[in-house]
Amino acid sequence: MSQDIGDWEAYLSPEKNKDYFKSLLSFLNSRIGYEIYPPRKTWFRAFEYSSFASTKVIILGQDPYHGEGQAEGLSFSVPKGIAIPPSLRNIYKELNQDDVDFTNPGHGHLVNWAKQGVLLLNSVLTVEKNSPASHANRGWEVFTDQVIQLLNENKDNLVFLLWGAYANKKSDLIDHKKHLILSAAHPSPFSAHNGFFGCKHFSKTNEYLKSTDQELIDWSLPL
């Protein structure tokens, strides 16, 4: 964790000394000759933008985009100038149908959400080019499960957006009495019509934040 992850450091630094994390780093170092996404300096970017103190919403993805230039360390987000991926296009469609202020900005850069305390967390933080799930089951899931558990235990009234069967399994790590869990199908074109469209998770998130005296998320994205 060479990035400046601010107040997360106190919570996450103990992980660096655990065997699973050392094994994960050893694996990653062994893959140096391969093209790994996102770039190393952005592996922990989600923690840079959404501090532990400010985090109030968690959107959980699976692993980073595996196409060139897409992954930037934030789940579902891509840099400006990169085509909006299909799942994110469907997220935008749902935002347009939901009772929130949103207009498609023409890009997929979600950093404005992250800066408001939306932790855009992938379960696995790295992937190899054109090889989905290539870094699964190497230790990242242990690390990100610990992130979820730390949030669950040390904060109150969080909103967890769990989309798809993989993300929904993480609900076992969350105290349903302390936090709001919103589950739906994955926004992928293969599954979005099975319950993602019409879920209204964005307005429901803000309703819950309002009911718990927290600042609402501005889901609109600057051009």
Which residues are part of the catalytic machinery? 63
CA distance 152 to 90: 28
CA distances from 63 to 10, 94, 126, 151 (A): 25, 22, 7, 20
Edge-to-edge order in the sheet of strand 57-61: 118-122, 57-61, 159-163, 180-184
**What six digits make up the tokens of 73?**
């360390």
Q: Are strands 159-163 and 180-184 parallel, antiparallel or unpaired?
A: parallel
Percent helix, strand, coil in the chain (nearest 5)?
40, 10, 50
Per residue in 79-102, is it b (16+ CB within 10 Å) or e — as a string? beebebbebbebbbebbeebebeb
**Which residues have a Cβ under 8 Å from the Cβ of 134 and sit 6 or more positions away?**
66, 127, 128
Do 54 and 117 form a contact (C-beta atoms < 8 A)?
Answer: yes
Q: Which residues pair with 173 in a beta bridge?
A: none
Coil, strand or helix at 119: strand
